[in-house]
Chain A
Amino acid sequence: MLGKNKGANVPFSETVIELFIRLCGISAIIFVFGIFFFVFREGAGFLFGGLDLGQFLTSPEWYPTSLSHKRYGTFALILGTFSVTALAMLLAVPFGLGAAIFVSEFCSPKLRETFKIIIELLAAIPSVVWGFIGLTLMNQLIIKLFNAPIGLTMLNGSIMLALMSVPIIVSIAEDALKAVPDSYREAAEALGATRWQVIYRVLLPAAKNGLLAAVLLGAARSIGETMAVLMATGHSVNIPEGPLSWIRTLTATIAAELGEVARGSEHYQVLFIIGILLFTITFVVNLIADLVIKGIRQA
């Protein structure tokens, strides 16, 4: 009797759970397409009717509110986004991977737990706080250290982005290294490899997929970040000449201007077209990452 009841209940609850999980999976797809549709719909009118796409992509002149001659060129903004992300990755990847190797291979278990908590704490700091640190503390520091006219620069933004993406890189890379079976390490050590040789010759090649994923997720975090770069980079339409140039990113432009723009106006639609551009960039980055990982797997 009891057994029969149980037998009748289990398939039912399983069906419910299965349905729920299925819905969760489908909803992710629906949301992505829904968002894309919304962004595209808001920008489409001007994208296909009036916007000079060549000028949009290649002109550095961003004058969305000029009274005499409106110009919508995002070239400086695209360069800004790419340069600040690249510099951030240059700073974050060595630190992130180094920290991950240290935590995974050299730490005592007790120290490891402390480190992980601290690193996770770093990830919990809201980006507006990083932005404020950039606006005040880092601004002064860069002026003093580099004798720069102003510290709100690409370097400032990159340091903030690096600090924000390091926790992501560390925790994912550390997981990837931990996933390498101990038998690999033992075998290498049995063959007489030093600790460094074990890491360099055995662990890194074995964990390369996970490490690449860590780096790409860190980069994605940097490209998508808005508030910190809005505050720390100077938010200036300017073609970057070096780390001490003040720049503006695509995301920060949307954040700063969308709040006060007339709904449905050209400017409003252009901001959504920038959204489409960001969507495309992220898609391409992800696609390349996928292809690279597949390539590595086959090799």
Chain B
Amino acid sequence: MQKANIAVFTTRDVIAPTNLSERLANNKKTFLTFIVLLSAFGCAPSDDATGTARPGKPVVIKNKGSDTMVNLAQAWAEAYIGVSTTASVEVSGGGSGTGVAALINGTVDIANCSRQIRPKELEQATKNTGKVPREFIVGYDALAVYVHPDNPLTRISIPQLAEIYGEQGTLKKWSELGIAHAACPSDKIIRISRQSNSGTYFYFREALLGKARDFALGSLDLHGSKDVVEVIERTPCAIGYSGMGYATAHVKMLDVAVESGAPYYAPNLQNVLDKTYPIARPLYMYSLGEPTGEVKIYLDWLLSPVGQKIVERLGFVPLKSEGSP
């Protein structure tokens, strides 16, 4: 039951309209505080975000920010209950901006951010708290564009994807992409998408179309990242997107370029790490100054193989992984 509650709270934050997120963040905060209380044997979380241990009482590390990362941050926090007896983590969402604002005010130990901190924010934080925020990349969020192996297409640009998926898009047939797709006699591009409130859908839509344009109706909105790959394996006419980690030997991943003239990059770990692959973004965490005490121990644990396993489990790209393609 508690597990289910967590899932509901986390995903709702990803999709909540701005006016709701504040309230929801509060809900979640209350709930996680409850968990923290349980795990700390009735010890109340301290209000000051110092991250220093008091004898006999576990330290509460405050962690706030990105909605994309809130699932990940909570998975880490949950797993950490079994790792550390001297510290527990309190996670809340609200958006990357909220996290950075809290960092500037000095009310959190760690801010989650799905974008890099802006120079002005960095300056404000330094001025306000006297400490320079320290940046950690804790994982990557990368999507691959999949087609059937019989499809002769090997690469695609973001504007082309936008015309395939977007409302009033102009690309409806494979031949319009300049290829002869023999295995697809109807020549129709079958768009595979995700249900409209999944985080993957949100990120892909924003990467392709920004905030003003919607996807065209009539795409097949499958339920789950794995189903997307499974259907494309068996459907020569299909194109779809899913996390890079879901690739199998029976599908082909396309190289992607930002624009039609720009170089194309394959969706592999190296290109994600080099920031050349366009449909990927690093996930950041910021601490106030060089982390110390329990905060440092927690961040070291996140970046360790054990912590990075959780990144992989939630469908993100870990920093260094052996298993991913």
The reply to whether A267 and B197 form a contact with Cβ atoms under 8 Å apart is yes
What residues of A have a CB within 8 angstroms of the CB of B2 in the complex?
none
A-facing residues in B1-33 (Cβ within 8 Å): 8, 11-17, 20, 24
- Measured CB to CB, the closest approach of chain B to A251, in angstroms, equals 13
B58 to chain A, nearest CB (A): 30
On whether the beta carbons of B220 and A234 are closer than 8 Å, the reply is yes
- Of the candidates A63, A139, A152, which one forms a contact with B196 in the assembled complex, judged by CB atoms under 8 Å apart? A63
Cβ of B168 to closest chain A Cβ, rounded Å: 13
A residues near B12, Cβ cutoff 8 Å: 260-263, 265
Partner of A149, one of B16, B190, B195, B202: B190
What is the minimal beta-carbon distance from A279 to any residue of chain B, in angstroms?
23
Complexed CA–CA distance, A255 and B195 (Å): 10
Is the C-beta of B238 less than 8 angstroms from some C-beta in chain A?
yes
Q: How far is the CA of A248 from the CA of B11 in the complex (A)?
A: 23
Q: Decide if B186 touches A152 in the complex (CB within 8 Å).
A: no
* Bound: A276/B188 CA distance, A: 37
Question: Are A136 and B197 interface neighbours, CB within 8 A?
Answer: no
Q: Is B135 an interface residue (CB 8 A)?
A: no
Which of A4-12, A64-72, A289-297 sits within the interface?
A64-72
CB neighbours (8 Å) of B213 from chain A are: 68
Contact indicator B221/A236 (Cβ below 8 Å): yes
Contact B220 A150 (CB under 8 A): yes
Is A256 part of the contact surface with B, judged by Cβ < 8 Å? yes
B300 within 8 Å of A (CB atoms)? no
- What's the least CB distance linking A257 to chain B, in Å? 6
A281 within 8 A of B: no
Residues of B near A238 (CB, < 8 A) are 217-218
Stretch at the interface among B104-112, B126-134, B223-231, B269-277: B223-231
B234 within 8 A of A: yes
Closest CB of chain A to B171's CB: distance in Å? 15
A231 within 8 A of B: yes
Interface centre among A230, A234, A262 (most CB of B within 10 A): A262
Q: Mark A65-91, 1 if CB is under 8 A from B, else 0.
A: 111110000001000000000000000
**Residue of A62, A66, A246 ringed by the most chain B CB atoms within 10 A:** A66
B20 to chain A, nearest CB (A): 6
* Smallest CB gap from A137: residue in B: B234
Q: How far is the CA of A263 from the CA of B227 in the complex (A)?
A: 26
User: Are B220 and A260 in contact, CB atoms less than 8 angstroms apart?
Assistant: no
Across the interface, B235 reaches (CB within 8 A) one of A60, A150, A262, namely: A150
Contacts of B201 in A (CB 8 A): 65
Please report the C-alpha to C-alpha distance between residue A147 and residue B188 in the assembled complex, in whole angstroms. 12
- With contacts A149-B188, A262-B16 taken as known, whether A135 is within 8 angstroms of B230 at the C-beta atoms is yes
Q: Which residue of B lies closest to A263 (CB)?
A: B12
The answer to whether A161 has its CB under 8 Å from any CB of chain B is no
Tell me whether A58 is interfacial, beta carbon within 8 Å: no
On chain B, the residues within 8 Å of A261 by CB distance are: 12, 15, 197
Q: What's the minimum C-beta distance from B67 to chain A, rounded to whole angstroms? A: 11
Asked if A62 and B234 make an inter-chain contact with CB atoms under 8 angstroms apart, the answer reads no
Question: With an 8 A cutoff between CB atoms, is B212 at the interface?
Answer: yes
Is there contact, CB below 8 Å, between B202 and A65? yes
**Which of B184, B190, B217, B231 has the most C-beta atoms of chain A within 10 angstroms of its own C-beta?**
B217
Q: A256 to chain B: which residues have CB within 8 Å?
A: 195, 221, 223
A60 and B217 within 8 A (CB): yes
Instruction: Among A149, A259, A263, point to the contact of B237 (Cβ < 8 A).
Output: A149
Q: How does the 8 Å CB contact mask read for A116-143 relative to B, with 1 for contact and 0 for none?
A: 0000000000000000000110011001
- Contact flags B158-188 to A (C-beta < 8 A → 1, else 0): 0000000000000000000000000011101
- Give chain A residues whose Cβ lies under 8 Å from the Cβ of B190: 149-150
Contact of A147 with B221 in the complex, beta carbons under 8 Å: no
Most chain A CB atoms below 10 A, which of B16, B188, B221: B221
* Nearest CB of chain A from residue B195's CB, rounded to whole Å: 4
* Contact among B212, B214, B220 with A63 in the assembled complex (CB-CB below 8 Å): B214
When the two chains form their complex, are residues B227 and A231 in contact, meaning their CB atoms are under 8 A apart? yes
Q: Are A151 and B11 in contact (CB under 8 A)?
A: no
- Given the known interface contacts A135-B230, A136-B234, A257-B196, the answer about A235 and B222 at a Cβ–Cβ threshold of 8 Å is yes
Contact among A76, A136, A140, A246 for B220, CB-based, below 8 A: A246
A214 contacts partner chain B, Cβ-Cβ < 8 Å: no
In this assembly, does B120 line the interface, its C-beta being within 8 Å of a C-beta of chain A? no
| CB neighbors of B among A222-277 (8 A) | 230-231, 234-238, 246, 248, 255-257, 259-265, 267
Contact A148 B197 (CB under 8 A): no
When distances are taken between beta carbons in the complex, the residues of chain A under 8 Å from B235 are: 139, 143, 149-152
A267 (CB) vs chain B CBs: closest residue = B197
Q: Out of B8, B11, B186, B217, which one reaches A147, CB within 8 Å?
A: B186
Report the 7 A-B pairs with minimum CB-CB distance, sorted nearest first: A262-B12, A149-B237, A262-B16, A149-B186, A256-B195, A234-B220, A149-B188
Interface residues of B (CB under 8 A from A): 8, 11-17, 20, 24, 184-186, 188, 190, 195-198, 201-202, 211-214, 217-223, 227, 230-231, 234-238
Residues of chain A at the chain B interface (Cβ within 8 Å):
60-69, 76, 135-136, 139-140, 143, 147-152, 230-231, 234-238, 246, 248, 255-257, 259-265, 267
* 15 additional A-B residue pairs with CB within 8 Å, beyond A69-B214, A265-B12: A63-B214, A64-B197, A136-B230, A150-B190, A150-B238, A235-B221, A236-B218, A236-B219, A237-B217, A246-B218, A256-B221, A260-B15, A262-B16, A263-B8, A267-B197
10 contacts between A and B (CB under 8 A): A60-B217, A136-B230, A143-B235, A149-B188, A235-B195, A235-B222, A237-B221, A255-B223, A260-B14, A261-B12
